[in-house]
Amino acid sequence: MKLADRLNQLGTENAFEVLSEVNSLKAAGRDILSFAIGEPDFDTPENIKQACIQAIQQNQTHYCPSAGILPLRETIAAYIAKTRNISVSPDEVVVTPGGKPIIYYCLHALVNPGDEVIYPNPGFPIYESVIRFLGGVPVPAPLLEEKDFSLDTEHLEQLITPKTKLIILNSPQNPTGGMLTPKDLEQIAAMAVKHDLWVLSDEIYSRMLYSGTFTSISALPGMAARTIILDGFSKTYAMTGWRLGYGVMNRELATAVARLITNCESCTNTFIQYAAIEAITGPQDSVDEMVAEFKARRDLIVDGLNSIPGISCKKPNGAFYVFPNVTAACKNLGFADSKELQQYLLHSGNVAVLPRTSFGEKNTAETQEYIRLSYATSRENIIAGLKRIKDALAAKA
């Protein structure tokens, strides 16, 4: 079978490949503790589930506008206006089956072959994958451990050329849990205005913050019209399997994205959108409780990792990931890189993590090794997993 050449440019999300390997090992009888997948281990709150059931019973089971039902777009517009301190119209909201389609469709609508797109590295692998698939030129912007996995904004500006079309930001960030500071955002906003660039701001973890308040680049001068906000329901409301996300962007782009949706999936599931209204407008206690639990797990896993010889770990302020430096562990145990360490921990330690290269190739001059662990699992699993990692490394030493 000869597939289209363009598929050679399409990447993947390695977390799902590791998940498949974990599931195969479990099916063979292995007891694997997984820290690989970024999915809350909480159930969707009951009020949201009941709203969905009620919508089905009320026969909200038909096609809807490609951009989403108006009541949800009005609800999202009000929510974004309040939380980002910007003016938002429902016509600037597009609802999609998950957050990824906002990346996919917005890049399709904006990026021509040869256009350059700057994206964070290490970062969510779908950014680079879609850029490359479109014939765009992916330009990695290193996230630096010495800056708590924020960007070097001076270096970022050096990456901008006349061919640059867009900058992708993600804060709080996957895979590091790092965040852009208000000063970082101000400097990036000034660059975007100066060079007439779009910014795709992936804010899917905006509610998962452990101290301080969230700041969106969209609220800065000159940025509302050139920023695409990506947000959704998967992480905040433990709705990963529901597949529901949205983007906020100027009307012209929103119209183009809706046309792409018409050509692909027609519209997002209607009755789920009514559940989303309840998610935003209903009680938020479950969100607060989940974030408080994640904070306790963060402290537990960071302290535990820092107690293991050869591993050092920054304490992130957002999301539910840690990105420990395992350079010394790799060197001490004779592993060439974090991929070899990851495979050893999986097959000899019965612990699943992700290697640095699951989040992009190393940046030029990058010499350190990292792994990512998601702490969206119980405290008991974290304690047991840390012990397995410590024991596996000790056995190899």
| pLDDT at residue 72 is higher than 90 | yes
Q: What is the pLDDT of residue 16?
A: 75
Q: How far is CA 73 from CA 97, 133, 264, 280, in A?
A: 14, 30, 20, 11
Average pLDDT for the chain: 96
Q: Which segment of 1-10, 75-84, 208-217 scores lowest on mean pLDDT?
A: 1-10
Region 79-107 average pLDDT: 97
Read off the pLDDT of residues 28-68 as tens digits, 9 standing for 90 and up.
999 999 999 889 999 999 999 999 999 999 999 999 999 99
> Which CATH superfamily is 5-43+286-396 part of?
Aspartate Aminotransferase, domain 1 (3.90.1150.10)
The pLDDT value given to residue 54 = 98
The predicted model gives 348-358 an average pLDDT of 95
- For the entire predicted model, the pTM comes to 0.95
Q: What angle do CA 65, 69, 71 make, to 5 degrees?
A: 150
pLDDT of residue 53: 98
Q: Are 64 and 273 in contact (CB under 8 A)?
A: yes
pLDDT at 23 over 90: no
Residue 22 pLDDT: 86
DSSP string, 5-51: GGGGG----HHHHHHHHHHHHHHTT---EE------SSPPPHHHHHH
Domain ranges in the chain with CATH number 3.90.1150.10:
5-43+286-396
Question: Does residue 85 register a pLDDT over 90?
Answer: yes
The CATH architecture annotation of domain 61-281 reads 3-Layer(aba) Sandwich (3.40)
Residue 20 has pLDDT above 90, yes or no: no
The proportion of the chain whose per-residue pLDDT surpasses 70, expressed as a percent, equals: 100
Examine the pLDDT at 396 and tell me if it is beyond 90: no
pLDDT digits (tens, 9 = 90+) for 159-209: 999 999 999 999 999 999 999 999 999 999 999 999 999 999 999 999 999
Tell me the per-residue pLDDT of 299-339, one tens digit each, with 9 for 90 and over. Answer: 999 999 999 999 999 999 999 999 999 999 999 999 999 99
Provide the token pair at 393. 């490394």
Predicted local distance difference test score (pLDDT) of residue 14: 75
Task: Please give the structure tokens belonging to residue 325.
Answer: 């430096």
Query: Locate tokens 């495979």: which residue?
Result: 343
Residue 1 has pLDDT above 90, yes or no: no
Distance CA 227, CA 168 (A): 10
Region of poorest pLDDT, from 9-18, 243-252, 285-294, 363-372: 9-18
Task: Provide the pLDDT confidence category of residue 17 given band limits of 50, 70 and 90.
Answer: confident
| All CATH 3.40.640.10 domain ranges in the chain, comma separated | 61-281
pLDDT at 286: 97
- In this predicted structure, what is the pLDDT of residue 18? 81
Across 276-303, average pLDDT: 98
In the predicted model, is pLDDT for residue 142 greater than 80?
Answer: yes
DSSP H helix total and E strand total for the chain: 13, 13
Cα–Cα distance between 308 and 311 in angstroms, integer?
Answer: 6
pLDDT at 250 over 90: yes
